[in-house]
Amino acid sequence: MNQYLEALQESIINADTIWIFENLLTYAVEVGASDIHIEPYESYCRIRLRIDGILKEIAQYPKNIHDSIIAKFKIESWQMRPDEKRLPQDARVSTVTLTNKEIDLRANTLPTVWWEKLVMRIVDKSKKIPPLDVLWIEWINKEILYRNINLPNGIILTTWPTGSWKSTTLYACLNYLNKPEVNITTYEDPVENKMDGINQSQVRADIWYTFAQWLRAALRQDPDIIMVWEIRDWETLETAMEAAMTWHLVFSTIHTNSAAETITRVLNMGAKPYMISGTFNLVMAQRLARKICPHCMIKYNAKEEEPELYKAAVEAIGSMKKDDLAKELKLRGITAQQWEDFKNWYLYKGKWCDKCEWTGYKGRIWLYEMMEYTDDIKNMLLQGKTAFEIEKYALRNWMLNLERDWIFKVIKWLTTLQEVYRLTKHKDYRN
């Protein structure tokens, strides 16, 4: 991998824009970057990669070659105007890296006070869809997910910010359900992974191929399962609910901060409580957390280094019912030694090494929060209870939110408390 980084530095010295892009894309894919940022400033320009969710600067270059770098990409994309620098532009490009990996780039230029900034989201086509059983969905969450995706109808949503791999979870669910006796139809923007046995349709805004048009056509295709890329407005939500009511299983994504907050979002879109309770099966919130580097992992005393974070973690899982806690520990495979270490304030972290590029983390794991729409939850909706009250009830009884799921992974020496509370808020678990 370092050879491509060194080649990138040499291309910058030689002001060779063609090889700047070739080496940059190859290096980014090889280190597992999700995004590339090419940014201009007053006295210099820089290139950053988002690796394991964190931006890292890998190169700087003189501002006199910035225009040619941006112009080169615009010309290659065939979708951007090289002479237009005042307005944002979008492009989707398919290309091949120097290591023969096929990738898609979703690119956007943004005018700034120091010229245009270019950001490219990388979709590595060589990566296969992982099976559901390797997505770190454990014990109660796993039971809930499999129970709901095997239902004949209803709505299943994944939620959380861009870059949390919601689409990967959806694809894994569809792959699990993909059988000769089942007809699956999807409407995607864009089609990130082409799957045999599934009828995938691409959004075409340029010819007004809308969701409503697709759904009318899709329902004439005798589907059993429908996947809509994202619910953004009332029209999409309403038609998804109608499809669920007419005996279809509907998958989609929505942008909210937690599984419970999805209730508030869809109510604000115009849904009535009886419509939600009649169609919703499950809402999954998910995030990606950085894993502790296995090459430099060390034990430390949380009492000395981060007592407040440790106390928050103890409260989060200590508020669980004793039987539920015991089952989680057992069925997640948490050893007696790991549990004993945690009770005695001993946790693990990365010390930093060249294998993790001096970050202490290498790779990522999924974290999940499953809000199942049980009869109790549906009754609370019909009674006009708020999302906050519903979440409180679920947490007292059966639900593992992201914080709890994360802490169990801390106990298993997979991630750190700092990573937990960098991305989640500590909940108030008092009744």
171 and 38 in a common domain? no
89 and 161 in a common domain? no
Question: pLDDT digit string (tens) for 221-272?
Answer: 889 999 988 888 888 898 889 889 988 999 999 988 889 999 999 999 999 9
Tell me the average pLDDT of the chain: 89
Residue 272 lies in a domain: yes
- The number of domains in the chain is 2
Residue 18 lies in a domain: yes
Token pair 């109510």 in the structure block, residue: 267
Query: Domain of 45?
Result: 2-124
145 and 75 in a common domain? no
- Rounded average pLDDT over 351-375: 89
* Single residue among 124, 147, 175 that ends a domain in this structure: 124
Do 349 and 244 contact (CB within 8 A), yes or no?
A: no
Token pair 């080649």 in the structure block, residue: 7
Residue 165 lies in a domain: yes
**Whether residue 410 has pLDDT greater than 90:** yes
77 and 179 in a common domain? no
Residue 401 lies in a domain: no
Q: Which CATH number covers residue 34?
A: 3.30.450.90
Question: pLDDT digit string (tens) for 321-332?
Answer: 888 899 889 988
Do 275 and 241 contact (CB within 8 A), yes or no?
A: yes
Residue 423 lies in a domain: no
99 and 150 in a common domain? no
pLDDT over 90 for what percent of the chain?
Answer: 54
Q: Which CATH number covers residue 146?
A: 3.40.50.300
Residue 222 lies in a domain: yes
CA dihedral 302, 303, 306, 307 (to 10 degrees): 130
Write down how long the chain is.
Answer: 431
380 and 253 in a common domain? yes
* Single residue among 124, 159, 186 that ends a domain in this structure: 124
Order of strands across the sheet that contains 102-112: 54-61, 45-51, 33-40, 115-124, 102-112, 89-96
Instruction: Identify the pLDDT of residue 278.
Output: 93
Residue 414 lies in a domain: no
382 and 254 in a common domain? yes
**Whether residue 346 has pLDDT greater than 90:** yes
Instruction: Identify the pLDDT of residue 133.
Output: 84
- The DSSP bridge pattern shows strands 33-40 and 115-124 to be antiparallel
pTM, full prediction = 0.83
State both tokens at 331: 């069925």
* Single residue among 79, 99, 124 that ends a domain in this structure: 124
109 and 148 in a common domain? no
156 and 274 in a common domain? yes
103 and 8 in a common domain? yes
182 and 283 in a common domain? yes
228 and 118 in a common domain? no
Residue 172 lies in a domain: yes
Residue 241 phi, psi (nearest 5):
-65, -40
Instruction: Identify the pLDDT of residue 163.
Output: 65
Q: How far apart are CA 409 and CA 348, in angstroms?
A: 11
Q: How far apart are CA 160 and CA 285, in angstroms?
A: 6
Question: pLDDT digit string (tens) for 36-50?
Answer: 999 999 999 999 999
Q: 261 — alpha (psi -120 to 50), left (phi > 0) or beta?
A: alpha
